[in-house]
């Protein structure tokens, strides 16, 4: 395994995984989906984060003949039974409208007292090989939801999730602080032994 492809067009994700692999002493050529522009985006039809991550990783591994990593993540709110979950990016009905998603969720939780505003970010990261071999690892960042957004770093629901042990929201942390505790960072770090095992 010399080259690894990450199912994203987000340069920040590629940088984050590259740094984690490099810190672990894994010298791999990591590229994003942009390196293969002819490959269509994969529909996320799974009902769990793990299923969606596997769908994307397998599709990319098949299309490129390379080992592929994909992740899927979202916000899970205790009082909503784990929703928005896999629907986090399209909670308001429009995919990727962070502000509308955030405003809808805050409105839905308007009457919920502080002690019942527990929530967590979840991330599943999958590694798939062209031969069908697969592994999935997960990461989780527990916290509570604020009543109003705070902070300008990050994206999505970062301005309202205050991690356990923190007085700031995820959007008030520096990128380095957030990466150190984030659900995606945890999942990507958990991938290291999997990559090492499968890379031989």
Binding site membership for substrate: which residues? 8-13, 73, 155-158, 178, 183-184
Active site residue 72: yes
Beta strands in 105-197 (DSSP E): 118-128, 134-145, 161-163
Q: Following CA atoms 65, 31, 28, 128 in sequence, which dihedral angle do they give, to the nearest 10 degrees?
A: -40
- 32 has which bridge partners? 6
As annotated, the binding site for Mg(2+) includes 72
Tokens 């916000």 locate to 75
According to DSSP, residue 66 is labeled S
Q: How far apart are CA 52 and CA 45, in angstroms?
A: 7
Which spans in 65-171 are helix H? Answer: 98-108
As annotated, the binding site includes 8-13, 72-73, 155-158, 178, 183-184
Q: Given 72, 78, 97, 114, which residue is catalytic?
A: 72
Give catalytic residue positions.
72
């Amino acid at each position: 395994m010399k080259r690894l492809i990450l199912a994203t067009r987000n340069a920040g994700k590629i940088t984050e995984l590259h740094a984690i692999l490099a810190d672990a002493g894994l010298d791999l050529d990591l590229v994003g989906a942009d390196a293969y522009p002819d490959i269509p985006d994969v529909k996320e039809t799974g009902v769990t984060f793990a299923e969606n991550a596997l769908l994307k990783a397998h599709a990319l591994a098949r299309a490129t003949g390379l080992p592929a990593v994909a992740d899927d993540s979202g916000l899970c709110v205790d009082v909503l039974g784990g929703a928005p979950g896999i629907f986090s990016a399209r909670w308001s009905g429009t995919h990727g409208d962070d502000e509308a998603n955030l405003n809808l969720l805050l409105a839905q939780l308007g009457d919920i007292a502080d002690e019942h505003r527990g929530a967590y970010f979840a991330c599943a990261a999958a590694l798939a090989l062209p031969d069908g071999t697969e592994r999935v690892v997960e990461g989780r960042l527990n916290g509570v939801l604020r009543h109003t957004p705070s902070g300008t770093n990050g994206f999505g629901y970062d301005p309202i999730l205050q991690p356990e042990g923190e007085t700031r929201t995820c959007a008030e942390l520096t990128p380095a602080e957030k990466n150190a505790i984030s659900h995606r960072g945890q999942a990507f770090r958990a991938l290291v032994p999997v990559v090492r095992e499968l890379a031989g």
